[in-house]
């Protein structure tokens, strides 16, 4: 089963999550602060559950440090529920966001969804048949269609799982316009609400910063005002 790292300063919350996950046969590692959590992060870690409000190194700072070396899915836990707080977490590199207090059923559902997507898009499904990886190449971008591997003019780019999924979808259907709702429901696989538009915008902005020569004047992921986004194929 998957390896999950919990970074949470509240011992009671850590214990409750650990008991829940171990009952589902997950392997759980615990840390009470950001620095300890960074020391426990391993290559085979499949998910990080990260509290935002912690003394010392905050959850946001911890997330930013994790993103320098790993694309592991990060699920933020926080007592803040404002939309702006959620966007800050996503901008820092988080993949999902759960507000305290939360139900264990919802927590478990989100954990399983994140791990499932990570397993598929990072090629970590050991039971999957081993087939040759296929690539899509457009305009100098080369993306592996089986797992998160992207290069631009031969230079590897580190994308989060969501960024990779968005880019793969856009490159698979070049010049097709995808609305924010199309992208959200295809990548997040959840119902779209008006507030989800901000989530899509944040991820598009971060993706452009990583792949565009000039993010202010994108050449790959272009905005079609009033309609959505498209990947402009220049082949």
Determine the pLDDT at residue 205.
95
For domain 135-231, give the CATH number: 1.10.10.10
Signed CA dihedral, 182, 183, 188, 192: sign only: negative
135-231 and 3-121 share a CATH fold: no
Determine the pLDDT at residue 84.
64
- CA 182 – CA 123 distance, rounded (Å): 24
Q: What is the DSSP letter of 226?
A: T
Helices (H), the chain: 11-23, 34-40, 59-67, 83-92, 104-121, 161-172, 180-187, 196-211
pLDDT tens digits along 114-152:
888 777 655 454 444 444 458 899 989 999 887 788 999
Determine the pLDDT at residue 134.
80
Q: Is the pLDDT of residue 234 over 80?
A: no
Signed CA dihedral, 182, 183, 184, 188: sign only: positive
% of the chain at pLDDT higher than 90: 54
Determine the pLDDT at residue 124.
52
Spatial CA neighbour of 171 closest among 93, 159, 225: 159
When pLDDT is averaged across residues 196-221 and rounded to a whole number, the result is 94
Q: Strand order in 141-144's β-sheet?
A: 135-138, 141-144, 150-152, 155-157
Q: How far is CA 38 from CA 34, 181, 205, in A?
A: 6, 35, 26
pLDDT tens digits along 28-74:
999 999 999 999 999 899 999 999 989 899 999 999 999 888 889 99
Determine the pLDDT at residue 189.
79
Q: Tell me phi and psi for residue 14, to 5 degrees.
A: -55, -45
- CA 8 – CA 105 distance, rounded (Å): 19
Domain map (residue ranges) of the chain: 3-121, 135-231
For domain 3-121, give its CATH number from 3.40.50.300, 2.60.40.10, 3.40.50.2300, 3.40.430.10. Answer: 3.40.50.2300
Q: How far is CA 176 from CA 28, 167, 233, in A?
A: 42, 13, 10
Highest mean pLDDT among 26-30, 83-87, 94-98: 26-30
pLDDT confidence band for 199 (50 / 70 / 90): very high
Determine the pLDDT at residue 128.
41
SS3 call for 59: helix
């Amino acid at each position: 089963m998957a390896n999950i790292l919990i970074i949470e300063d509240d011992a009671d919350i850590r214990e409750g999550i650990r008991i829940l996950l171990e009952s589902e046969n997950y392997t759980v590692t615990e840390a009470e602060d950001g620095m300890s959590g960074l020391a426990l992060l391993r290559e085979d870690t499949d998910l990080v559950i990260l509290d935002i409000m912690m003394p010392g190194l905050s959850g946001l700072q911890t997330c930013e440090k994790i993103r320098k070396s790993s694309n592991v899915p990060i699920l933020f836990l926080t007592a803040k529920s404002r939309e702006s707080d959620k966007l800050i977490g996503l901008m820092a590199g988080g993949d999902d966001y759960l507000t305290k207090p939360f139900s264990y059923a919802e927590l478990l559902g989100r954990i399983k969804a994140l791990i499932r997507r990570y397993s598929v898009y990072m090629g970590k499904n050991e039971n999957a048949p081993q087939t040759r990886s296929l690539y899509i190449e457009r305009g100098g971008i080369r993306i592996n269609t089986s797992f998160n591997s992207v290069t631009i003019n031969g230079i590897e780019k580190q994308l989060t799982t969501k960024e990779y999924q968005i880019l793969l979808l856009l490159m698979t259907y070049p010049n097709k316009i995808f609305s924010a709702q199309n992208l959200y429901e295809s990548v997040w696989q959840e119902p779209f609400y008006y507030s989800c538009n901000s989530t899509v915008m944040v991820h598009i902005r971060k993706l452009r910063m990583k792949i565009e020569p000039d993010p202010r004047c994108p050449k790959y992921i272009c905005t079609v005002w009033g309609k959505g986004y498209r990947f402009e194929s220049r082949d």
